[in-house]
Structure 1
Amino acid sequence: MSKYSRDLKIIIANEFLAGESSETLSKKYAISSRQIRYWSQVVAIHGDKSFQPTAHLRHAQARLQALKLMWANDWSLGHTSAMLNLVSPGLLFVWLDRYREKGFSGLEYQSRGKPSMKPSRIVSTHCNDEKTVEELKEEIAYLQAENAVLKKWEELRQTKRQQTKKKR
């Protein structure tokens, strides 16, 4: 989620394009003047379609094309980002940095968020009557190991309790 709404960006950019200075708007809205100038550049190019999500840029090939467009036309990060209607020129900088570091594979979309800590346990869809002998043996071995771990954990807990009682 963006820090500033799309509507606010367009309003501030239109005020700048109407002749208000970026420093005045910066003080009025507590936003950097550089950010305001970037927003106004995007609005000047794209108008009402500014800051719309660009799903096609999630693909590595499209990101590479964006970088090639910048290199071919000798554009700056800011101008290229404005031409591509990106939320921030920083996004293009990240792509460029990843491309220099890892090549094309660095441009692949990476999922966000914290990965799950739970191990993926394969659960058989067979009922007990349909399982083979090997599947049943494997399940018994797993349950025995799980039981042993729980017993050891309980034993350690009791030992710890006894030690704390002795200290008192």
Structure 2
Amino acid sequence: MSRYNRVFKLQLAKLCETQSSASLSQEYGVSARQIRYWSQVFRIHGENSFLHIGKPYSSAFKLKALKKMHDQNWSISYTSVYFDLSSAAILLQWKKLYDSGEVTKFIPQKKGSQPMNKPTPKPADQMTEKELREELKYLRAENDVLKKLKALAQAKQEQQEKKQSS
């Protein structure tokens, strides 16, 4: 979520047409650079600025923005203004991912914790001896951890009972 709401951004972008970004920065406590960015977005998109309709951005949109920037030889700042991104930092991040070959990370991720996808175990009669041994090793380790956890819980409970009785 954005720190500043859309109405506030529009207001400052409009004021920037008649006042300097430095004076607006002092008056409203927003960096002059940010105000100039909003002003540029407003000049291109007008009242439709700061809507961010396609959020989270699709991988196709991200590639389109990077391709347009490359084909038109635009700066990161101008490209982010043209596509009405919330900041140029987003586009810079996409460019770094693209340049490093990590295009698969362009797919929008859901926020919050993801459910763990536990692989469904094969039936024992379909497992090789090596797989059976590995599973046995894993289950023994898991059992040891649970035993230690239970012992710690019991020790803690005994310690609390001793404190209460004294």
Q: Give TM-score scaled by structure 1 length.
A: 0.70
Question: d(CA) in 1 for partners of 2:88 and 2:20?
Answer: 21
| Residue identity in the other structure for 2:105 | G
Q: Is the 8 A contact 1:16 1:25 kept in 2?
A: yes
Residue 152 of structure 1, CA deviation: 7.1
- Tell me the equivalent position of 1:64: 63
- Tell me the equivalent position of 1:3: 3
Question: d(CA) in 1 for partners of 2:46 and 2:39?
Answer: 9
- Structure 1 residue 79 and structure 2 residue 78: aligned? yes
Give identity over the alignment, percent: 37
Deviations 1:12-68 (A, max 9, x none): 010001x20010001011111110000000001001100112317622122111001
- Tell me the equivalent position of 1:100: 99
Q: Is the 8 A contact 1:60 1:109 kept in 2?
A: yes
Residue 156 of structure 1, CA deviation: 5.2
- Tell me the equivalent position of 1:89: 88
| Residue identity in the other structure for 2:80 | S
- Aligned CA distance change for structure 1 residues 57 and 76 (closer, same or farther; 3 Å): farther
Q: Is the 8 A contact 2:56 2:108 kept in 1?
A: no
Residue 104 of structure 1, CA deviation: 2.2
Larger CA deviation: 106-115 vs 74-83: 106-115
- Tell me the equivalent position of 2:15: 15
Question: d(CA) in 2 for partners of 1:97 and 1:149?
Answer: 41
| Residue identity in the other structure for 1:15 | L
Q: Which runs of 5+ in 2 are unaligned?
A: 121-139
Q: Is the 8 A contact 1:63 1:107 kept in 2?
A: yes
| Residue identity in the other structure for 1:54 | I
Residue 86 of structure 1, CA deviation: 1.1
Q: Tell me the SS of whatever aligns to 1:102.
A: coil
How do 1:5-154 and structure 2 match up within 5 A? 5-17=5-17, 19-55=18-54, 58-116=57-115, 154=150
